[in-house]
Every structure is written in structure tokens, then in C-alpha cells.
Chains A and B, each alone.
Chain A
Amino acid sequence: MHDLSILLIELGTVLLGLSLLGRIGRRVGLSPIPLYLIAGLAFGEGGLLPLSASEEFIEVGAEMGVILLLVMLGLEYSAGELVSNLRSSAPAGLIDAVLNALPGAAFALLMGWDWVAALVLAGITWVSSSGVIAKVLSDLGRLGNRETPVVLSVLVIEDLAMALYLPLLTAVLAGVSLAAGATSLVIAVATVVVVLLVAIRFGNAISAFIAADDAEALLLGVLGVTLLVSGLADKLQVSAAVGAFLVGIALSGPVAHHAVELLTPLRDLFAAVFFVFFGLSTHPAEIPHVLLPALALAALTMSTKVLTGYLGAKRAGIALPGRFRAGLALMPRGEFSIVIAGLAVAAGVEPQLASLATAYVLITVITGPMLARIPDTEWFKAMLRRRTATVPAHPIPQTDTSL
């Protein structure tokens, strides 16, 4: 009973602290993710106020957080949207993967880490944060901009690529042989394809099965299916996160719409717990050691993201200012990078990885949304105008057919 009271007091304090941080963050226009990570650092071992009784609860909560983050991500897309997007934006996705995953892998090898750590770091630097970027785009009033579909397509392709990358990583981290790793990759690919096909063909039937008139039954139904599938996926070594993502994709229409409404508060709660947990598993004392490498990695991979967005927007026939807007918007890394690092840390890969990932995500997620505002500033516009004025007028690509 004594433990229980301490657990409640600790959890209450942590949640109250997060609420205050979130409020401060919103006032200065900062995403809550970096604040939660910092809170985790403060509450962890070697931090200001180490927790004693609630770590186990937070660990389970963090796992729920990952699952909820991914099921919500899946709910945002319909299977048809994913497939049509895959067809039209595969080249942009490929540029994205090459430009951003390879530097991460190369960096890990330069640090003298093994190829497993390289695979992990490649994933961390590859994936932009869909959540943070979607928020930034809507905050800056750019949802109507003509380069925005390019940015969103890159995010969708990345999310879909994660459905293949995470199971592969899970298999590699479990230390299975090459053959077993290949088998689990095949299983993962087959699962993803089958789920997409089933969702396109029978999405309505699945949704109708879960659909319920009252909110409570719907909430329990969606949560139940998600946890069940995640658990089964985990057993198959396909990773619980991917299972949840696929459940999200399979649900569509009004069920998906209502489920989003019902799950959002739960996701907010457990995702916060997840980021705190990740902060907890990092020793604040290690951050100074990895700060320089993290800054270098962030500078490198934030520039490659700008290039990714620039090239993607150029391909879509967007003019110069829009290319920079697309590039600069793509810089923040967030939830996925932490999910990947979390998997690696749990598997005991490279002890410095957690602190590097924390510092890296902190840097990109704090500076990214700020840098994304640059193209809206007067001096940047003036600079672009001067540039286009000195370069002999090149024709603006004419892509729209509406004229």
C-alpha cells in the first residue's frame, strides 16, 4: 500500500509538471516533444528528481504510447491514399531515403559503431516527424500552399517505409541470423501488402464490424483490436508498432473519424509518458559527451532534408521560394526517431545511442520549426528576389493545367 501511494504521488507530480511545461511550450510556439524529453531527463537516474516507484508503470505506459502514436498515424491515412501516393511519390521517397538514411549510417560507422548501430542511426536520421511537421504547416497557414502536398507525400512514404523498416530492425536487434532476418522481412512485407489489400477491398466490412453506436463500445473495440494485433505482430517479430499502424490503416470512414476523436486524449497521455520514459532511459550526464557529434549530425542531416524537400518540390514544378519552404519544413525529427532509438536501447545496442538520439531529436525538433519560418521573412524573400534577378530569367515551370 505504501508503494501505491508513492506511485500515485510520483505520477501525479510528473503529469502536473508535463502540463505546466506543455502550457509554457504552447505560449512560445514550441512542440511539447522536446519538453517531455527534457522532463524525462530531469526525472531519470542522475537527474534532478529520480523516480523510484513508478518506473515500471511508466515503462508499460510508454509501450502503450508507441502503439497509440502509430494507430493514430494509420488512422490518418486510408489504404487507397497510401497506394496512390506510393505510385506518384516513390521517386521523392527514394531521394529522401538515400539523402537522409545514408548520412546517419555513415556517421555511426565514423563513430566506430557496428553495422547494427549504423542501421539504427540511419532510421533515426531518415524519418521526419509527421506530427510536428503537420502542426508546423497548419500553424504557419501553409496547408493551402502548392508545395504542401510534396511535403505530405514525403511523410506518407516515410511512414509506409517504417512499416517495412521496423520489423527488419526488430529482427536484426533480436540477433537472428541473416536467413531468419530475411524470413521476418518477407513476413513483414507480406503482412503489409495483405493488410493494404484487405483494407482496400474489405475496409468497410472491418469498419462495420467494429462500428458501434456508443462511444464506449467503439473505444474499447478499437483499443482492443489494436492491442491484440500489436501483440500478435510482436510475437511474429513484426514489431508491435507496425501492427498498430496497420490496424489504423485498415479502419476507415466514420469509424476512423470517431476513433480519432476518442483516442486523441489517450494518445496525448501515453505519448507524453513515452517521451518521458525515453528521457528517463538517458543519463543527463552523458549528453555533454555526445553534444558535439549530435550537433554535427543534426547540421548534416537537416541540410540533407532541405535538399530532399528542395528536389521534391522542384520535381513537382514549384518555384524557388516554395522549394525552400518544403525543404525547411521537413527538418524536425521526432516520434519515429525516438521509437527506433527506444527499440535499440531496449536491445542493448551501443550505450551512447540513447543520449545521442535524445540530443539529436532535441536539436532538430526545437530548431526545425523555428527555421521553417525563415522563408516567410522579408530578408529571405529579398535574397531570393536578388538571386532570381541576377540569374537571367528562367521560365517558371508550368505544371498546372488549369490555365
Chain B
Amino acid sequence: MRVRVEQTALPGIGVRHDLVMASGRRIGVVSHRSGRRDLVLYDQDDPDACIASLPLTDDEAEALADLLGASLMLGQLAGLRSQAAGLLTEQISIPAGSPWAHRRLGDTRARTRTGASIVAVLRDREVIASPVPSFAFQTGDVVVVVGTREGLDGVAAILAETEPDG
């Protein structure tokens, strides 16, 4: 983590974490003992004061955290796509009943056969970045692939095979 998060105790209320963004703005989170969390945004002219304080319930905070974490990864991939013309990303899911569930990523030999790479797997709202060849798929996984159009189609075809030849 390249940003530094500062922690401050708020006696009787909870704790506050805040950080300064590259743009110079300061944002923070006030965590109440009760579990409530406030997302706070600081004033540009008066960095001691917050101009907005948004109360979040436990569930809302979790949803927002997921959103920020996931979009960060997809945002990076989107950036990659625009930089290198002809390079595409695709998300391919492993449906229930797929022969690939419980088989290892290495078994697909996707890169050797298609030139496209499996760069990440999304599982249960978690991101598994750069999975190793011994990584085992599960039903419901979403595989993120980067490559040319033909490469992506090739990986999709491999993952759709009913009788993987290993």
C-alpha cells in the first residue's frame, strides 16, 4: 500500500482513519463503536474540517469496499486495453456442472494453446490476482482473460469443452 493511513482515537466514540490522496484531498472513515461508519470528505480550504459526513451501515460499508476494490482491478485492466491496441479482456464464468470445476488452471494450458493469459479469478466477491498453474477452479468462478480476440475465443472454447483432454 503506497498511501499512508493515519489512525486517531476518538475517546467515547470510536476511531478515525484518514489519508491524503495524490490530488491533495483528504478523506477518512469514522468507525463508531456501534458498528456505524461515516465516510468523511475534508474541506480543501480548511483541511481540519469535513464538508461531508456520510453515515454507512455495516452492509453499506462492505458493499462500498467491495465496489472500490473490484473496480480498482477492472479499471487497471481497462487501462491496459486502451494502451495496447488489439489487446482485449474478457470475463468467462465457470458454470455449475463445468468439467473445469475442481481442475487446475495449469491443465487448461491456455497460454500455450491460445497466447491469451488468465490474469485473475473473481470468486465470492474476492479477487484472486495472478493465479498460479496449481490454482484449482470452482463452480461460480469468473476467469479474467487478457489476449487477442482469437486468443480470448480460444480460451472460451477450452473452458466450454465438455470433455477436457487435459
Residues of A near any B CB (own CB < 8 A): 76-77, 81-82, 84-85, 130, 134, 141-149, 152-153, 155-156, 257, 318-319, 321-322, 325, 381, 400-403
Q: Is B133 an interface residue (CB 8 A)?
A: no
B45-95 interface (Cβ within 8 A of A): 46-50, 52-53
Q: Which residues of the partner chain A approach B6 to less than 8 Å between Cβ atoms?
A: 400-402
Known A318-B48, A319-B48, A401-B6; judge A144-B12 contact (CB<8 A).
Answer: no
Question: Using a Cβ–Cβ cut-off of 8 Å, how many residues does chain B contribute to the interface with A?
Answer: 27
Stretch from B13-21, B135-143, B147-155 at the A interface: B13-21
Q: Is B129 an interface residue (CB 8 A)?
A: no
Evaluate contact between A144 and B30: CB separation under 8 angstroms.
Answer: yes
Q: Which residues of the partner chain A approach B49 to less than 8 Å between Cβ atoms?
A: 142, 145-146, 321-322, 325
Closest CB of chain B to A112's CB: distance in Å? 39
Evaluate contact between A149 and B9: CB separation under 8 angstroms.
Answer: yes
Closest 7 CB pairs of A and B: A144-B40, A322-B48, A141-B53, A144-B50, A146-B48, A76-B12, A402-B4
Question: Per-residue 0/1 for B11-53: is the Cβ within 8 Å of any A Cβ (1 yes, 0 no)?
Answer: 1110010111000000010100110001010100011111011
Compute how far the CA of A42 lies from the CA of B43 in the bound complex, rounded to whole angstroms. Answer: 45
With A84-B9, A85-B11 given, name 18 new contacts (CB 8 A). Answer: A77-B12, A81-B12, A85-B9, A142-B49, A142-B53, A143-B40, A145-B48, A145-B49, A146-B48, A149-B9, A152-B10, A156-B11, A156-B12, A321-B46, A325-B49, A400-B20, A402-B5, A403-B20
Evaluate contact between A142 and B11: CB separation under 8 angstroms.
Answer: no
Q: Which residues of the partner chain B approach A144 to less than 8 Å between Cβ atoms?
A: 16, 18, 28, 30, 38, 40, 42, 50, 53
Please name 24 pairs of A and B residues whose Cβ atoms are closer than 8 Å in the assembled complex, sorted by A.
A77-B11, A77-B12, A81-B9, A82-B11, A134-B13, A142-B53, A143-B13, A144-B30, A144-B40, A145-B49, A145-B50, A146-B8, A146-B48, A149-B11, A149-B16, A152-B12, A156-B11, A156-B12, A322-B48, A322-B49, A325-B49, A400-B20, A402-B6, A403-B20
The secondary-structure label for the interface of chain B is strand
Q: Which residue of B lies closest to A155 (CB)?
A: B12
Closest CB of chain A to B113's CB: distance in Å? 48
Closest CB of chain A to B22's CB: distance in Å? 11
Compute how far the CA of A218 lies from the CA of B110 in the bound complex, rounded to whole angstroms. Answer: 60
Compute how far the CA of A76 lies from the CA of B42 in the bound complex, rounded to whole angstroms. Answer: 27
Compute how far the CA of A319 lies from the CA of B30 in the bound complex, rounded to whole angstroms. Answer: 21
Known A134-B12, A144-B28, A156-B11; judge A319-B46 contact (CB<8 A).
Answer: yes
Known A144-B28, A402-B6, A403-B20; judge A152-B47 contact (CB<8 A).
Answer: no
Q: Which residues of the partner chain A approach B13 to less than 8 Å between Cβ atoms?
A: 134, 143, 152
Evaluate contact between A143 and B53: CB separation under 8 angstroms.
Answer: yes
Evaluate contact between A141 and B46: CB separation under 8 angstroms.
Answer: no
Q: Which residues of the partner chain B approach A322 to less than 8 Å between Cβ atoms?
A: 46, 48-49
